[in-house]
Amino acid sequence: MKGHPSVRKPLRFAVLASLAFCCVFLGSTLRPQTIQATPEKQHTPCCGPVTPAGERLASTLDSMNVEFLWLAHEHVNWETGEPDKGAEDEGPGNHTHCSAFAAAAAKRLGVYLLRPPEHGQILLANAQADWLADEAGSKAGWRRVSNMLEAQRLANQGSLVLALYQNPNRHVPGHIAIVRPSQKSQGTFEENGPEIIQAGEHNHNKTNVRTGFENHPGAWPDGVLYYTHPVA
């Protein structure tokens, strides 16, 4: 009986029928779940609406003209971003100006962030990171934001929010940018992080954290910290 064809054929048909049923069942239950998730993330705003206060914040940030001021490889006035030495100057302080721009924008919004003359422009971003994490920063009204989703939500509501990377080597520059209001989708947000405005090796009126911090290995995503301060 063990090798008889009349026994083997029914067994083969039973196995094949079971496999076919499983494939149909799994396909019908699993496939729709994977198809439906992506379009939803592509169109759902990640972080709430941009309020009137958020629109005023965006307007102030746009007025800074960052793509034409605080340019890399020129020594600049920290507050205006205008070159304040000749183009031939090769002295210190003419590399990039992310921290000077952040301090200038904060001042324009009526908020104090560590800046000249309390600290020079050289390695200012690292110094700002120490200052924000210290008692001095909290006394000035700054607080740490727990995650980047909350950072974007607060910016949308009109709060000043900083994205900050402190270089582990304190003799090498870190980086700092300002989160700007944006109604980006959940999918785009998860891929690239909050919308920012920044000075740096490349100045951007609008970019994202992933792109803006790409010259700093270890920054995106977990090395970037967020701080916020209310704007009057």
The domains of the chain are located at: 1-43, 52-229
For the question of whether the overall pTM of this predicted structure is more than 0.85, the answer is no
DSSP, collapsed to helix, strand or coil, labels residue 191 as helix
pLDDT at 45: 85
pLDDT at 44: 83
pLDDT at 88: 52
Query: Which portions of the chain are predicted below pLDDT 50?
Result: 1-2, 7, 10-11, 13-17, 19-37, 89-90
pLDDT at 109: 98
Q: Backbone phi, then psi, for 46, in 5-degree steps?
A: -80, -35
pLDDT at 42: 66
The CATH class that applies to domain 52-229 reads: alpha beta
Q: If we measure between CA atoms, which residue out of 71, 67, 62 comes closest to residue 201?
A: 71
pLDDT at 40: 61
